[in-house]
Chains A and B, each alone.
Chain A
Amino acid sequence: MPVAGSVRSIMVSSHHIAAAFRDVTKRFGETAILEDFSLEVAGGEFVSIIGPSGCGKTTLLRLLAGLTEPSGGEITQEGQAGRSAYIFQDATLLPWRTALRNVELPLQLAGVSRDERRQRAEELLKLVGLSDATLKYPRQLSGGMKMRVSLARGLALQPSLMLLDEPFGALDAMTRNRLNEELLDLRERQPFTALFVTHSVSEAVFLSNRIVVMSGQPGRIAVVETIDFPYPRKSALREQPEYYEKVAKVTGLLHQAEEVVA
């Protein structure tokens, strides 16, 4: 599948396949949730998945993360499976650990020594702008800060692929916009391929190289839209007419996809 021509060189330059679904079917009991789903994500790409609620977006990420098995078809990922990180919708921080110790968790589970993981966790928290909150507990953090900690934790093992399930869905519009910018910024510094599930068309347009619009019951790809605004993208992009037009177009595509169900 072609990748937008204007993807800049911060992305892994070769067009190797970072993750792929080939004719994947997923059934829970009798009901098919996904049917003959095929998608290839190139290394360095940022792909958003958007579609009606219940169409199987979360299931797609869970399949890729190995949290659930496909009923049919094939799922491949470059390198070993451990090189992907899953960012959960609700941050999923351990409440008994400070922000720092939450970020340390993946390193600790991987057997990294105490000093090394502490230093790495401090760097990561700095990267997400939370140097002042390292010793705070999750309940002392705002929703946006929790999500930043979760992103820092996700980046701890330097994953080549990030799976993000509506990470900013619970945040207010302003925080969400800021975190969108920060996410792109993070990617400049520590590159990764992203598969990003969202309900927000404007967020998807702002972030992605490609947007996969799904229709539901069973979940399949309705249409794929390429977004070729050059990176780095800054908040000013949101004021461009081209951006509005793209948002309007994708919103239209999403509505069409939703009507397929109705």
Chain B
Amino acid sequence: MKARFWLPPVLAGVLMMALWYAVIAAFDISPYVFPPPHEIAKATVDKAGLLFSALGHTAWAAVLGFALAVTCGFAIAVLLASSGLLKRAFYPWVLALQMVPVVVLIPVFVIWFGAGLPSIVAITFMISFFPIVASTTLGLVSTDHGMRELFETYHASRWQEIFHLRLPYALPHFLTGVKIAATLAPIGAITGDLLAGTSNFEAGLGYLILLFRQQFYPAAIYAIALLSAVLGFVFVASVQLIAWLALRHWHESSQPGE
């Protein structure tokens, strides 16, 4: 890789780190309020066992909720796009459902599924399924007019049109939704764990936030922030990679130099 790509972010990182120490020194801020980077590193190492098992649980919940969102989101989009009437009737309700802040539903989920993994997965699902529905539906109903007429001139059956035209045409839209969902799923899993997690050995990152707050250990909370960011990054990067592999030959969004 060329230096002009990796050097600027590395330099900026060093600069921000320096600024961090400078601010702490200049204003004599207590490490409890704003811990310096090395304290966070130390907390990460000290609490590694707890942190990484929690990371695993949260990642698992995120994967399950995300997979559910992708499957159901796709199915709902196909259903909505399959008939104009169905879309007109139900799309506003899907939108309305999306307007409900997911945190409001958390107690409901806990009543339905009990605290722990099922509720956390449900929350992750609720947070991440809508972008998939919205963008896949759009892709399915906006099939290029000329291509549809091409199929018409070949007297293609409805199923042929769906399989050979509508679905492939909607693929980039679907993957756009999936990419947005991938940024939301880890947030959903952490929020879910924070508000519907359990203290037993299933504890995730959200639950550890509560624990470290109780123990008044801010450096460890920053460590959680760091791990959450890493989780989010890995999640998004994997999905981006899959999307790129799926579209690399034909779509604008996956051409080199963009």
- List residues of A whose CB falls within 8 A of some B CB: 65-67, 82, 84-86, 88, 90, 92, 94-96, 105-106, 108-110, 137-139, 157
Known: A96-B168, A96-B171, A109-B160. 14 other contacts (CB 8 A): A67-B152, A86-B150, A86-B153, A88-B146, A90-B146, A94-B147, A96-B251, A106-B154, A108-B164, A109-B151, A109-B155, A109-B156, A110-B154, A138-B250
Contact between A96 and B250 (Cβ–Cβ < 8 Å)? yes
Contact between B164 and A109 (Cβ–Cβ < 8 Å)? yes
Q: A95 with B250: in contact, given A105-B164, A109-B151 (CB under 8 Å)?
A: yes
What number of B residues sit within 8 Å (CB to CB) of A? 21
CB-CB contacts below 8 Å: B19-61 with A: none
In the bound complex, CA of A110 to CA of B156 (Å): 8
Contact between B153 and A139 (Cβ–Cβ < 8 Å)? no
In the bound complex, CA of A86 to CA of B171 (Å): 26
A-B contact pairs, 20 of them (CB 8 A): A84-B153, A85-B153, A86-B149, A86-B150, A86-B153, A92-B150, A94-B147, A95-B251, A96-B168, A105-B154, A105-B164, A106-B154, A109-B154, A109-B156, A109-B164, A137-B249, A137-B250, A138-B250, A139-B252, A157-B154
Closest to A157 in B: B154
CB-CB contacts below 8 Å: B137-191 with A: 144, 146-147, 149-156, 160, 164-165, 168-169, 171
Classify the secondary structure of B's interface with A. Answer: helix
In the bound complex, CA of A139 to CA of B151 (Å): 20
In the bound complex, CA of A109 to CA of B163 (Å): 11
In the bound complex, CA of A240 to CA of B147 (Å): 40
Contact between B154 and A65 (Cβ–Cβ < 8 Å)? no
How distant is B88 from chain A, measured CB to nearest CB, in Å? 25
In the bound complex, CA of A90 to CA of B146 (Å): 9
CB-CB contacts below 8 Å: B200-253 with A: 249-252
CB-CB contacts below 8 Å: B108-163 with A: 144, 146-147, 149-156, 160
In the bound complex, CA of A109 to CA of B147 (Å): 14
How distant is B245 from chain A, measured CB to nearest CB, in Å? 13
Contact between B165 and A67 (Cβ–Cβ < 8 Å)? no
What are the residues of chain A within 8 A of B252 when measuring CB–CB?
139
What are the residues of chain B within 8 A of A94 when measuring CB–CB?
147, 164-165, 168
What are the residues of chain B within 8 A of A92 when measuring CB–CB?
144, 146-147, 150
How distant is A182 from chain B, measured CB to nearest CB, in Å? 22
- Residue in B153, B160, B169, B249 whose beta carbon sits within 8 Å of that of A65 in the complex: B153
What are the residues of chain B within 8 A of A85 when measuring CB–CB?
153
In the bound complex, CA of A86 to CA of B153 (Å): 7
Closest to B247 in A: A96
Contact between B250 and A88 (Cβ–Cβ < 8 Å)? no
